[in-house]
Chain A
Amino acid sequence: MKLAALAGFAAALTIAPALMIAGAAHAQISGDVVKIGVMNDMSGLYADITGPGSAEAARMAIADFGGTVNGKKIELVTADHQNKPDVGGAIARQWYDNDGVDAIVDVPTSSVALAVQDLARTKQKAFLISGAASSDLTGKACGPTSVHWTYDTVALANGTGSAVVKAGGDSWFFITADYAFGHALERDTATVVKASGGKVLGQVRVPLNTPDFSSYLLQAQASKAKIIGLANAGGDTINSIKQAAEFGIVAGGQKLAGLLVFITDVHSLGLKTANGLQLTEAFYWDQNDASRAWSKRFFEKMNRQPSMVQAGVYGAITHYLNAIKATGSDDAVAVVKKMKETPVNDFMTQNGKIREDGRLVRDMYLFEVKKPEESKGPFDYYKQVGTIPGEEAFKRPAGNECPLVKG
């Protein structure tokens, strides 16, 4: 057996140089399998945004890649981190240390993502972030083997935050989810608001997964701020927007700025409540032929249109597998380096480039939610009102503390 392989190798040496490269690559894929682990909230308040839909997007990416890379099988494992950093950390440790997982993907809930990021950095394993938003993941907590793919709090602030200030919303009160993500989103948006000449009148920090926001909405109302910035996500955003309507916040002259709103949230709220909201997303299924074609395939599997996070999972995994193919190795440092050297072009990203700190710089889009009479049916929800070029969207007004970035 060994002899035959050696003979083959010798033959390859003399006959076909291309075969030799493939032969050499064999040796560098650990465990003879590329294992991808999708970890997210499979059943809680972020399950519709990420959850089983992200796992399905990963499955599609692997199938489209042909199921193998350089002759080695690609495997998928999934897990539910329940939005708890300790649970997520334990799964990540198990995956990286014992189960031979090469890359962990998605991981919404920034507090969990930061825990996984620490492990990925110390164990030199790949971490492809789509669901989490905190800009700290490519800021002070950045890592050489991580790529932050879809969006982040800086882009949301530069998108929605800056658009709202330009439209005259110059005094803000924040209703903030009380964990890493909410804090980062509030901080990054406040920076943009102040830089654009606006001011922040106050904020209230609300525990994650709160059913009743009326108390916080009343505090926001009493602040007399023109804009109530919702630095939360998923079910929390849905409940705060719905209850704001009930308490006559918008009727009273104040405006809501949903800083992170997903299409699944709009679907859940209904256009009657959500119409007129401005929001920043990296992807909308009905943008062009490529996005529609991909989303149609997703819809056939999941019976709902994909969120930008789910679309991002597909893009990130495809780019990662291409880098493995090119380098012939699953060594995270080499693969992520290759990912950074290669421009990203797929159905949702044009001419994207991964920065040294791990941030994928891509165009972001400003959307407005349609009025009920403008919509042709379920998921026909957005009209695009602007494009924010990548350089502008991911520019940090306060500079970057990431140690990977020199100077």
Chain B
Amino acid sequence: MLDWLHIPMPPAPLLFAQLLVGLINGAFYAMLSLGLAVIFGLLNIINFTHGAQYMLGAFCAWFLLNGLGIGYWPALIIAPVVVGFSGIVIERVFLRQIAGLDHLYGLLLTFGLALIIEGGFRQAYGSSGQPYTIPAELQGAQNLGFMFLPNYRAWVIVASLGVCLATWFVIERTRLGAYLRAATENPVLVQAFGIDVPRMVTLTYGAGVGLAALAGVMAAPIYQVSPLMGTNIIIVVFAVVVIGGMGSILGAIVSGFGLGLIEGLTKVFYPEASNTVIFVIMAIVLLVKPAGLFGRAA
């Protein structure tokens, strides 16, 4: 098929395996871009602290295990709540002050916060990261014939799909979601109906941050728990959100998984380009459809 490019086709089993691996990375992209999309959609803030909050989630799980002896499963609940609460504090103390100003202010503020948080952790824990083992229940792997699928990675795909669908359902199909969407369109009118919009905004930011922390906990056993883990992934995730359409929940999910797959294929055919391919796609999408694949033109 690709003979004209002089690129050898890999054997089919290897190709399947790569697609599956791409899907796993896509799961992380989807979960992170989902949080970003929720925050952007409802707060109109480009949350650059997202990568740092993902890192905080992983570190929170690490503290729970090494400091208090609390394992992976409780950490899946505790870490997002704790980090989500820190997000609420950030929203109340900082973001509230700049509500209604240009996007640029929010971007600079959250970017600065991210630098401070990551710098602090780097100072305290170094850049190499801390080990976090895979929970006993999910150790081992399944031989699928065409590949060796670690149980933990299978769990990541299932869990993140569940989280993505639940978030989509809450926002698009429930009364609460309807309030949220209405508040985005016209906060004054919604408030006139007796709904506490500022509190809803705060809680939404907390929930978006909690999603990042959840992704961080899930990433901890695969990658090192490292102060740099957020910086490494956040730029890619922003590209995913732009491709999907800023603020579009469905766009974030679909483009997260889709780009994971495309990146996975690049790793087989031309590995040198694997960290650029997403940005090439982003550039093309911006040229052809500036609002993103699933976005509505403003």
Q: Which residues of A contact B (CB under 8 A)?
A: 43-48, 51, 178, 204-207, 209-212, 214-216, 218-219, 221-222, 234-235, 238-239, 242-243, 246-248, 252, 264-265, 267-270, 272-273, 304
Contact = CB atoms under 8 A, between A and B. Distances in A.
Contact of A222 (B11, B232, B267): B11
B128 A212 contact: no
A46 B126 CA distance: 10
Contacts of B129: 235, 238, 268
Nearest to A47: B127
Given A222-B14, A246-B152, A211 B223 contact: yes
A218 B130 CA distance: 25
Given A43-B122, A210-B275, A265-B128, A215 B11 contact: no
A211 B232 contact: yes
Interface stretch (B20-28, B204-212, B286-294): B20-28
A254 to B, nearest CB: 12
Instruction: Pick from B131, B133, B224, B226 the residue with the most CB of A within 10 Å.
Output: B131
B272 A205 contact: yes
B11 A212 contact: no
Report, as a range, how many residues of chain B touch the other chain: 35 or more
B22 A215 contact: yes
Contact of B268 (A51, A215, A248): A215
Nearest to A268: B128
A273 B224 CA distance: 12
B267 A211 contact: no
B224 A242 contact: yes
B14 A218 contact: yes
B17 A218 contact: yes
Contact of A51 (B24, B25, B127, B150): B127
Contacts of A267: 128
B150 A235 contact: no
B131 A268 contact: yes
B127 A235 contact: yes
Contacts of B150: 246-248
A48 B222 CA distance: 21
B193 to A, nearest CB: 45
Instruction: Pick from B24, B126, B147, B233 the residue with the most CB of A within 10 Å.
Output: B126
B271 A206 contact: yes
Instruction: Pick from A207, A212, A247, A265 the residue with the most CB of B within 10 Å.
Output: A212
A239 to B, nearest CB: 6
Contacts of A219: 14, 268
B268 A239 contact: no
A215 B128 contact: no
A215 B18 contact: yes
A153 B119 CA distance: 32
A246 B222 CA distance: 8
A235 B232 CA distance: 11
Contact of A45 (B25, B152, B153, B228): B228
Given A204-B271, A248-B141, 17 more contacts: A46-B127, A48-B127, A48-B128, A206-B271, A211-B223, A215-B21, A218-B18, A221-B148, A222-B14, A235-B128, A246-B153, A246-B222, A247-B150, A264-B128, A268-B130, A269-B131, A272-B133
A48 B141 CA distance: 32
B37 interface: no
21 contacts: A43-B119, A48-B126, A204-B271, A205-B271, A207-B272, A207-B274, A207-B275, A215-B21, A216-B271, A218-B14, A218-B18, A219-B268, A222-B13, A222-B14, A235-B129, A235-B226, A243-B222, A246-B153, A247-B150, A248-B148, A268-B131
